[in-house]
Amino acid sequence: MLETLKKAFSGVIEKIKMAELSEKEIERFIEEFKLQLISSDVAVEVVDKLCERLSEELSKLKFKRFTDPSSQVKEIMFKIIGEVLPLEGWVEKILEMIEEKKRGGEPFVILFVGPNGGGKTTTVVKVAKFFKDRGYSSIIAASDTFRAGAIEQLKKLAESIKIRVVSQKYGADPAAVALDAVMSARSDKIPLVLIDTAGRTEVDVNLLEEMKKIKRVVKPDLVIYVGDALMGNVAVEQAKRFNEYVGIDYAILAKLDADARGGAALSISYTTGKPLLFVGIGQRLEDIAPFNREYFQRLLTQQ
């Protein structure tokens, strides 16, 4: 997982701790690091930001006597990552929001959007299991009434964790399905509604208009973009488009466990200005992890 990105970070740490850190040396390391980040599929604007900040920090770095220089360099690297990734306690914040709506007798509604093939349907059920394990049951709206087999896939996955799915026939109005799920949750005192939606191989205007309609009709508490980590910068660009057209609050990256480069994980928050909430780390429904700074640091440093 993220092997190319790990190599880029560990490489620069090893080189810097052995150098005199002259202005010329810093410039050389930064250029090498920049090329490695780009090869890891990190978005150019993120690369520029990271390298600019790294150069600033290294120019004023003085190694402490009798200490391991690598710890100081790591501290700098993670400080800079913290500036790029706005990730602190977002899942806990959402749990508080769900609880607040529950006290008011209303379900908390999350609309999931994203292109086809990114693992959106499986991710919706993973999120349902995550919250169920923390005491919050949910209803899932099968608002992908476009893709053949989508409703059956969703029902089969949801049945395995005993989560109810609200659906209609293929070709039905996705917004009507979502609204039906919200009304059922309100009637049955179920605290959470998760809305699965259609995607396309390419993001098109019709899809985006459909998402806007669902959002307008249902008025979800959150809109979450689900992308495929393996798509790299394509996933980042798709997230930007959904954010510009529909408006998103968070992102989730599926299939991070299979991503050897890792650029999307570093880029998506910075380029959209929205936190990365979860990452998919396997094929089982429990294989989803809250994404925060500490988790990312562990990913970069684990062997």
For residue 75, the model assigns a pLDDT of: 77
pLDDT tens profile 142-165: 999 998 899 999 999 999 999 999
Specify the pTM: 0.87
Mean pLDDT to the nearest integer, 258-265: 66
What's the rounded Cα separation, in Å, for the pair 133 and 286? 10
End-to-end C-alpha distance for the chain, whole angstroms: 10
* pLDDT of 263 above 90: no
Question: Which pLDDT value is given to residue 65?
Answer: 53
Task: Read off the pLDDT of residues 62-86 as tens digits, 9 standing for 90 and up.
Answer: 655 555 666 777 777 778 877 777 6
Q: Span 286-299, mean pLDDT? A: 79
pLDDT score, position 43: 82
| Domains, in order of start, for the chain | 3-84 (1.20.120), 90-301 (3.40.50.300)
- At 87, the pLDDT band (50, 70, 90 cuts) reads low
302 has pLDDT over 70: no
State the chain's mean pLDDT as an integer.
Answer: 85
Q: What are residue 94's phi and psi, to 5 degrees?
A: -65, -40
Residue 261 banded pLDDT, cuts 50, 70, 90: low
pLDDT at 62 (0 to 100): 66
What are the pLDDT digits (tens) for 101-121? 999 999 999 999 998 888 899
Give the model confidence (pLDDT) of 9-28 as tens digits.
Answer: 777 667 666 656 677 777 88
